[in-house]
């Protein structure tokens, strides 16, 4: 019994350590107008994976994210969706999309996606990439009305994109960025916080 309690305790502590940075992520607030994105995103995500699909009319960032959430929220596998667009003031104008699918626990970038993202990002100073993936409903989602909890692995991937030298250079000159979003339990969060482990690692490196 002691052993069981210890194992349960470890699970709760590790889940809390994963959930803690989520408090500092930013929730995306949708408005009814963003439902404009539902149809075109659904249309594109029903087409073959790993191929760039062009939207007939461009979508603003929250329209695109609303479409991604609507399409994926009841699925039991993860989708990774990259919106290819251009920074425009505080929003992104999304013109194309490429996606791939994973399983119930994970989804990974494919070579075709990486190539499309790299080519797009290199094409223009304002080129911006919206990276969205969903988490299928879990036991936490069934018990609590929680907003998305990015895993430590999600945050490691986010940091890899953000730490690219071409991305850092663009940040300093108001160029397009890589933006990372997770959909879960009917909500979308903009993931922009390090994991607890990454945070302590950075502190150690500063010393
Ligand atoms: Zn994830």
Which range in 10-19, 97-106, 150-159 is most confidently predicted, on average pLDDT?
97-106
Over residues 174-187, the mean pLDDT reads 95
In percent, the amount of the chain with pLDDT more than 70 equals 86
Measured in Å, residue 182 CA sits from the centre of ligand 1 at: 7
Residue 59 pLDDT = 98
Six-digit token string for 92: 């992104």
83-92 tens-digit pLDDT: 999 999 999 9
State how far the Cα of 117 lies from the Cα of 130, in Å rounded to an integer.
10
Over residues 89-112, the mean pLDDT reads 97
Measured in Å, residue 4 CA sits from the centre of ligand 1 at: 27
Query: What strands, in cross-sheet order, belong to the sheet with 79-88?
Result: 26-27, 187-190, 178-184, 127-135, 79-88, 91-101, 53-60
First to last CA, the chain: 42
User: CA torsion, points 64, 121, 100, 81, in degrees to nearest 10?
Assistant: -20
State how far the Cα of 117 lies from the Cα of 9, in Å rounded to an integer.
41
Measured in Å, residue 157 CA sits from the centre of ligand 1 at: 9
Nearest to residue 50, comparing CAs of 115, 124, 119, 120?
Answer: 115
How many residues are recorded in the chain?
207
Residue 126 pLDDT = 97
38-57 tens-digit pLDDT: 999 999 999 999 999 999 99
Domain that holds residue 183: 2-206
pLDDT-derived band of residue 129, with 50, 70 and 90 as boundaries?
very high
Q: How many domains does the chain have?
A: 1
**What average pLDDT does the structure give for the chain?**
89
Measured in Å, residue 29 CA sits from the centre of ligand 1 at: 20
Measured in Å, residue 160 CA sits from the centre of ligand 1 at: 14
Measured in Å, residue 2 CA sits from the centre of ligand 1 at: 32
Residue 84 pLDDT = 98
- List the Cα angle 56/57/59 in 5-degree steps: 125
Residue 15 pLDDT = 63
């Amino acid at each position: 019994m002691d052993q069981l309690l210890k194992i349960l305790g470890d699970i709760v502590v590790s889940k809390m350590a994963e959930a803690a940075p989520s408090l500092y992520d930013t929730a995306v607030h949708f408005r009814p107008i963003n439902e404009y994105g539902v149809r075109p995103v659904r249309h594109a995500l029903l087409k073959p994976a790993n191929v760039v699909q062009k939207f007939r009319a461009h979508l603003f960032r929250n329209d695109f994210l609303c479409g991604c959430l609507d399409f994926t929220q009841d699925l039991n596998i993860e989708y990774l969706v990259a919106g290819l667009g251009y920074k425009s003031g505080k929003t992104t104008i999304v013109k194309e999309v490429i996606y791939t699918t994973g399983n119930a626990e994970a989804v990974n970038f494919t070579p075709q996606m990486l190539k499309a993202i790299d080519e797009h990002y290199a094409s223009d100073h304002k080129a911006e990439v919206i990276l969205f993936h969903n988490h299928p409903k879990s036991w936490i989602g069934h018990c609590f009305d929680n907003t998305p909890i990015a895993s430590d692995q999600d945050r490691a991937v986010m940091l890899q994109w953000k730490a690219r030298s071409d991305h850092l250079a663009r940040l300093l000159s108001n160029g397009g960025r890589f933006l990372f979003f997770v959909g879960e339990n009917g909500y979308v969060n903009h993931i922009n916080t390090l994991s607890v482990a990454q945070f302590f690692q950075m502190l150690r490196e500063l010393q």
